[in-house]
A and B are shown apart, each in its own frame.
Chain A
Amino acid sequence: MREVAVIGVSMIKFGRYPDRSVQELGAQAGLEALKDCGVEMKAVEALYSGNLYQTSGSGQRILQQMGQTGIPVVNVANACATGSTAFREAYFAIASGAYDMVLAIGSEQMGKQGLLGSGGDPATSPEGRVGSYIMPSVFGMAGMEHSRAYGTQQEHFALASVKNHFHSTQNPLAQYQKESPLDEVLNSRTIAYPNTLLMCCPTGDGAAAAVLCSMDKARQYTTQPIKVAASVLTSDPYTDRDLTLPDISTLTRNAAKIAYEQAGLGPEDLSQVELHDCFATAELLHYENLGLCADGEAGKHVASGAPWINNRIPTKYEEDIAPLQDKTYQPRSKAVVNASGGLLSKGHPLGATGVANIAEIVWHLRGQAGNRQVEGSKVGLAHVIGLASACTINILQK
């Protein structure tokens, strides 16, 4: 396998684009990523297109906008891990030696359609009669499982939302750029306990792209090629509560173990992480799943300031957060988590998310992340999980 570099990235601001087609969003992202590294469309040998709601032919429709060069197109759908799976396919295309230059684009247009779905005939739907199967419920219960095991409080989960909304104020590409102090997060209406409205990611439209090439050719295009140190995909292993309580943890733990081995790195080596905070409860679980802290310490970890930009709680929040802190806590990892604002505030257009995470980390590794720059970032991990089930972890290195 050859070493693979990311040489160009882009992301269009997440939000609502009712007057533009999803292929226009994807094409814009693709062209901007090519421009980022000075590569011509005719040099691109294959396209990997991630899109969940309009999967079939998504990549071909993007090429009809940005350049119909006749190259092979692979359309990818893999739940929330759609974009990151497209990126991983692009990685393998280069690593295997099949191609020297490929493009990965993630795009999605969700409009007003939420994550809840229609659920079919109301007369025969078990939802709300025989438990709940909607995403907010799954992630609410995942948080409650952590509370059951470790006594984690709603306030601890809420801090992930406070942090990510704070980070997003410095990200002009985020769907929302508004701070949400702790009392505001806790007092917003409950969606699925313990998650309130501000602890759930918004829906939206967006696109992101990455240009990948072999490391030996990368320096022809950029002085700052970013190495793909690991690229991993897992699905759920069988567990005892299978299909009753979707397990978002085991597949992430399995992916993390393989990724750290591939990269020859550990959680203590990470400068930053973009992880799948579709709900605030999920962020805390993934601190432990990715090994950023020991099992049961996620609440202390977020309250310690470690995963915040500059590794500290902003002064204005100190008083709110002090009662949730354990002053003796020593963080295992000082990786900044979701400097972009995360899914909670940057937004989560399903197919775009996995590629946007890659773009975010590349910008930090190049020192181009503006006011949210993680100082001296050298290694970044991008994690995405889709229910039912897919987990990707990509580790990028300067």
Chain B
Amino acid sequence: MAEAATATPETRPLVPHLKLGETRDQDYLAGSRCQNCGTLYVGPRQFCAKCSSQGPFATERLSSNGEVYVWSIIHQSRPGIPTPYIAAVVDLPEGVAVNANILGVEPKPENMHFGMKVKMETEKVSEDREGNSYIAYHFVPA
């Protein structure tokens, strides 16, 4: 048995499609493009649901500017998750969409509109028992 290593706490992305830079303003969203059929996916992929090939996939950097496709305001969520929050599907110019929270506006229907221009930001949102930090992205009005 190896000795229990005192692991240095890491800074990790909360979701696999977020790539972390040296500083938070260098973080970006990443996609994978199927080299067989050209379909772009958000995040890493091994197989293509559209053409059923095994790729290969090329990693692409996605834009940090997008438009709100649809949104909802969530008033009741899983235990321990603060509400209300605005959950949205944000369309990116590359032709893919991501789920995101919208911050920077009060979560009320009158503050939201379809096609709203938004911009991505990242921040630390949590820490697990081992002390690892988790970085998440959200969008704010552009």
Contact = CB atoms under 8 A, between A and B. Distances in A.
A121 B130 CA distance: 13
B12 to A, nearest CB: 8
Contacts of B138: 129-130
B74 A132 contact: yes
A122 B129 CA distance: 11
A189 B75 CA distance: 8
B87 A125 contact: no
Interface in B66-97: 69-85, 87-89, 95-97
Contact of A193 (B72, B79, B80, B82): B72
Contacts of B14: 124, 126, 129-130
A190 B79 CA distance: 17
A116 interface: yes
A42 interface: no
Contacts of B73: 140, 190, 192-193
Contacts of B79: 118
A244 B136 contact: no
A191 B99 contact: no
Contacts of A124: 14, 126, 128, 134
Given A124-B126, A126-B14, A140 B78 contact: no
A240 B95 contact: yes
A245 B128 contact: no
A183 interface: no
Contacts of B85: 128, 132
Interface in B16-30: none
A118 B80 CA distance: 10
Contact of A245 (B70, B76, B82): B70
B70 A145 contact: yes
Given A124-B126, A141-B87, A148-B114, A117 B78 contact: yes
A192 B72 contact: yes
A98 interface: no
A118 B78 contact: yes
Interface in B121-142: 125-129, 134, 136-138
Interface string B37-67: 0000010000001100000000000000000
A244 B99 contact: yes
B101 to A, nearest CB: 6
A1 interface: no
Given A126-B15, A132-B87, A144 B80 contact: no
B57 to A, nearest CB: 15
Contact of A141 (B70, B128, B136): B70
Given A131-B99, A240-B95, A144 B72 contact: yes
Contacts of B72: 132, 136-137, 140-141, 144, 192-194
Contacts of A131: 87-89, 98-101
A19 interface: no
Given A136-B74, A190-B75, A128 B83 contact: yes
B99 A132 contact: yes
A23 B127 CA distance: 42
Interface in A90-119: 116-119
Given A118-B79, A126-B136, A141-B72, A244 B42 contact: yes
Interface string A186-199: 00011111100000
A152 to B, nearest CB: 12
Nearest to B137: A130
Given A124-B128, A125-B78, A244-B42, A130 B99 contact: yes
B104 interface: no
Contacts of B101: 128-131
Given A123-B134, A126-B136, A128-B81, A238 B49 contact: yes
A331 to B, nearest CB: 27
Residue from A134, A192, A238 having most chain B Cβ neighbours under 10 A:
A192
Contacts of B80: 122
B81 A127 contact: yes
Interface in A211-244: 238, 240-244
A146 B99 CA distance: 18
30 contacts: A116-B76, A116-B78, A118-B79, A122-B80, A123-B129, A123-B134, A124-B14, A124-B128, A126-B14, A128-B74, A128-B82, A129-B126, A130-B14, A130-B137, A133-B99, A134-B74, A134-B77, A137-B74, A137-B87, A141-B71, A190-B84, A192-B72, A192-B74, A192-B75, A192-B87, A194-B72, A194-B109, A238-B49, A240-B95, A241-B97
Interface of B: 14-15, 42, 49-50, 69-85, 87-89, 95-101, 109, 114, 125-129, 134, 136-138
Given A118-B78, A128-B83, A148-B69, 5 more contacts: A123-B134, A130-B136, A134-B74, A189-B75, A191-B75
Closest 7 CB pairs of A and B: A131-B99, A132-B87, A140-B72, A128-B81, A123-B128, A193-B73, A144-B70
